[in-house]
Amino acid sequence: MRSRALFLGVLCVTLLGGACADFRRGPAADACVKAPENDPVFETDVYPILQVRCQDCHSKGREAQSSRFLMSGNAKEDRSLVVMLVSPADPNNSLLLLRGTGIDHTGGQRLFPDDPEYATIRDWIASLPSATCP
Ligand code: HEC
């Protein structure tokens, strides 16, 4: 029975793009959670900090343009690439925060762990699901 359910589940996910969620198991540790369309904390609290502290270099035509952290100036557009640089299970070890605080970062130290801005970014990271869809 179990393998039949599994087969149907795979079929559903493959053919219907997950429309028959009944066959899928509940959230597993490795479940991938789709990024929300709107993320007001990111848009109004986190992104403006990155714009002030990082965008000068991390944008087209600037010195960090070949890095994966390339800001467009639009929070909604950039959210997915920022999410790729964070580790919700261990927020302080997120590449975004490590590089931002100057670790192995050509751009030097732009964030300070004692600053409220650092806490804002860290708390946002901690609020994210631990696995996001690619
Ligand atoms: C003075 C310019 C400058 C500023 C400002 C700057 N960076 Fe960078 N950053 C760079 C450069 C150049 C690189 C690519 C070389 C390297 O990894 O050091 C980089 C790389 C990175 C990477 C690695 C991206 C990858 O592809 O792996 C991250 C993450 C990062 N920076 C985060 C930040 C954050 C967060 C801020 C703001 C808080 C910031 N940077 C501000 C110059 C800057």
Evaluate if residue 91 carries a pLDDT over 70.
yes
Ligand 1 atom closest to residue 49's alpha carbon, by position in its atom list: 38
Q: Using one digit for the tens of pLDDT, what is the confidence trace for 10-55? A: 443 444 444 434 444 444 444 555 566 789 999 999 999 999 999 9
Buried residues in 26-38 as b, exposed as e (16+ CB within 10 A): eeeeeeeeeeeee
Supply 16's token pair.
Answer: 């219907």
Supply 119's token pair.
Answer: 């806490």
CA distance 55 to 50: 6
- Atom 23 in ligand 1: residue holding the nearest Cα: 67
For residue 50, the CA-to-ligand 1 centroid distance in Å is 11
Identify the band that residue 9 occupies on the pLDDT scale cut at 50, 70 and 90.
very low
CA distance 1 to 49: 53
Q: Averaged over 70-99, what is the pLDDT?
A: 95
Evaluate if residue 67 carries a pLDDT over 70.
yes
Evaluate if residue 75 carries a pLDDT over 70.
yes
Quote the pLDDT of residue 132: 59
Quote the pLDDT of residue 1: 46
Q: Across the chain, what does the average pLDDT equal?
A: 82
Quote the pLDDT of residue 88: 93
Sequence-distant (6+) residues with CB within 8 A of 131 are 29, 30, 31, 32, 33
Please check whether residue 34 is in contact with residue 21, taking contact to mean a CB–CB distance below 8 angstroms. Answer: no
Q: Averaged over 95-119, what is the pLDDT?
A: 98
CA distance 43 to 61: 24
Looking up tokens 């300070």 gives 112
Closest by CA position to 124, among listed 41, 37, 43: 41
Quote the pLDDT of residue 23: 45
Q: Averaged over 68-81, what is the pLDDT?
A: 96
Testing ligand 1's pocket by substitution, the residue of 50, 55, 98, 106 carrying the most ligand atoms inside 8 A of its CB is 106
